[in-house]
């Protein structure tokens, strides 16, 4: 799980290892692969009309951006344990809410950095309107947050449990 506090990102050991492995791949074998693609495309001749060359250069740019993002994230990372199972909403918790207090209109989501977005569970950033509205609350509390249209919504926190991968 991640929790951003100023420039510090809190990560579990598993998350740190996963992100570090991605960084190692992108800054090692993946760099070599893209350099080979660029070289092969360059050997094809005229670079102005060489789609393969331009696609490879664009891929290289995206890859280097991800390397910089991961490097910065990991430089500022603090490795720690998952949050306590104390019912308080914080990054790393799976939160169940009811919209406008309607127990039939519920949503369960993981409050975490977008680095954790997965198909298993919907992920909301602690900086998102809903995430910042529920962060720090506990089961039974109500929280308000601003919708994109400028109106506000109220939710009731039904449950908050640590995420288990």
Domain boundaries, the chain: 3-79, 93-162
Q: Residue 97: beta bridge partners?
A: 107, 157
111-142 residue pLDDT tens: 887 666 566 778 888 888 999 999 999 999 99
* pLDDT digit string, tens, across residues 34-62: 999 999 888 887 777 788 888 999 999 99
pTM recorded for the entire structure: 0.60
Q: Please determine whether the domains at 3-79 and 93-162 fall in the same fold group of CATH.
A: no
CATH number of the structural domain 3-79: 1.10.287.180
Task: Give the three-class secondary structure for 155.
Answer: strand
93-162: CATH class: alpha beta
């Amino acid at each position: 799980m991640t929790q951003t506090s100023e420039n510090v990102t809190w990560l579990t050991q598993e998350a740190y290892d996963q992100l570090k492995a991605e960084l190692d791949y992108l800054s090692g074998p993946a760099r070599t692969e893209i350099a080979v693609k660029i070289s092969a495309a360059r050997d094809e001749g005229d670079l102005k009309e060489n789609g393969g060359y331009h696609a490879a250069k664009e891929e290289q740019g995206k890859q280097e951006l991800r390397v910089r993002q991961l490097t910065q994230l990991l430089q500022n990372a603090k490795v720690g344990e998952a949050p306590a199972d104390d019912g308080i909403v914080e990054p790393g918790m799976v939160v169940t809410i009811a919209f406008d207090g309607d127990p039939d209109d519920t949503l369960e989501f993981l409050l975490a950095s977008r680095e954790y977005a997965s198909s298993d569970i919907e992920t909301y950033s602690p900086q998102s309107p809903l995430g910042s509205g529920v962060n720090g609350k506990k089961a039974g509390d109500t929280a308000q947050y601003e919708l994109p249209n400028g109106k506000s919504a109220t939710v009731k926190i039904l449950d908050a449990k640590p995420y288990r991968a």
